[in-house]
């Protein structure tokens, strides 16, 4: 059995650590938010008050934080992971961050004598709860292999993506596709409704047809069709709009640097910006459907 240090026990970190505890591992977790920490304690995480306590004696430390700035803050500084962890501890960041932050984590870790992998995930909170997340792992080969074994209780699939930052690069591309698919599911669901189709019947048809996507399957933005959809719960977030906006901004930034034209992604980005401007940053990103509906409501 292994000892995991874990920083960030939110929507994803919570259920991911629950699966580690369930598999018999020791997890020491830290989160700034008392509610997130106590929810994790309820499923068996040993919650602690500092990063240093979370990483002490850990075989591996995972971070599952909102954005690059949080990851840099948690790794760096006097009380951060680099200053307090033992050099033998493997470091893994599962947050979705910009490639520059991930590269910084690789470079600084190597300079300080640590092994680090970027290990972002796909599958949403339902995948996190079920222990079926897809992990895409980037880094030096033996670090990726060691991380993969430690990831296993949380994963349906672990894929070695390539060298440093290959995992995060794959994740940025994947999520751009996800949010474009969400636009498609939003528009398709509303048009189907206006054409008089029963939403459940239409969803069943699409599920076995070429309009099928993960967004359509899991996040279908019409109440009463898919249990996992936030549309059933007043759009309380499973994937917050500000995080969706962050992810698609990462893709647009990468597009700009590489010269790839990302017009569909730009449209999704505009819609998330609109939602945030209207005060919905904390709501689920599937609320994007409100701009598609003819009555403007969701």
> Catalytic amino acids?
171
Contacts by residues 42-51 (CB-CB < 8 Å, ≥ 24 positions apart):
43/14, 43/17, 43/18, 44/18, 45/6, 45/9, 45/17, 45/18, 45/21, 47/9, 50/79, 51/7, 51/79, 51/80, 51/81, 51/84
The closest residue (CB) to ligand NAD is: 10
Shortest gap between Cβ of 239 and ligand NAD (angstroms)? 4
Looking at the Cβ atoms of 216 and 238, the one nearer to ligand NAD is 238
Shortest gap between Cβ of 222 and ligand NAD (angstroms)? 19
Looking at the Cβ atoms of 202 and 218, the one nearer to ligand NAD is 218
Within 13 Å of residue 69, how many CA atoms lie on the same side as its CB?
2
Instruction: Note the residues at the interface with ligand NAD (CB under 6 A).
Output: 7-13, 30-33, 36, 64-66, 70, 73-74, 95-96, 121-122, 124-125, 238-239, 243, 247
Shortest gap between Cβ of 198 and ligand NAD (angstroms)? 28
Give the dihedral of Cα atoms 29, 69, 243, 172; nearest 10 deg: -100
- Count the Cβ atoms, other than its own, within 10 Å of residue 50: 11
Shortest gap between Cβ of 217 and ligand NAD (angstroms)? 14
Looking at the Cβ atoms of 68 and 192, the one nearer to ligand NAD is 68
């Amino acid at each position: 059995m292994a000892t995991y240090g874990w920083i960030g026990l939110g929507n994803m970190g919570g259920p991911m650590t629950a699966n580690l505890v369930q598999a018999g591992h020791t997890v020491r977790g830290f989160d700034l938010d008392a509610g997130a920490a106590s929810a994790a304690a309820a499923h068996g995480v040993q919650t602690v008050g500092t990063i240093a306590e979370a990483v002490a004696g850990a075989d591996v430390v995972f971070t599952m934080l909102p954005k690059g700035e949080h990851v840099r803050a948690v790794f760096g500084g006097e009380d951060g992971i680099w200053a307090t962890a033992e050099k033998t501890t493997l470091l893994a960041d599962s947050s979705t961050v910009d490639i520059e932050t991930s590269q910084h984590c690789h470079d600084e870790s190597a300079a300080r004598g640590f092994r680090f992998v970027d290990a972002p995930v796909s599958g949403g909170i339902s995948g996190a709860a079920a222990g079926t997340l897809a992990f895409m792992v980037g880094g030096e080969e033996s670090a990726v292999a060691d991380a993969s074994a430690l990831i296993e209780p949380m994963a349906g699939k672990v894929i070695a993506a390539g060298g440093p930052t290959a995992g995060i690069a794959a994740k940025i591309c994947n999520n751009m596709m996800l949010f474009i698919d969400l636009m498609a599911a939003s528009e398709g669901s509303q048009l189907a409704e206006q054409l008089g189709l029963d939403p459940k019947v239409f969803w069943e048809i699409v599920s076995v047809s070429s309009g099928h996507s993960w967004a359509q399957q899991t996040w279908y933005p019409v109440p009463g069709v898919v249990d996992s959809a936030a549309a059933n719960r007043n759009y309380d977030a499973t994937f917050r709009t500000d995080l969706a906006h962050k992810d698609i901004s990462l893709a647009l930034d990468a597009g700009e640097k590489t010269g790839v034209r990302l017009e569909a992604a730009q449209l999704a980005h505009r819609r998330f910006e609109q939602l945030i401007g209207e005060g919905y940053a904390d709501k689920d990103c599937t609320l994007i459907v409100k701009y598609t509906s003819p009555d403007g409501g969701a």
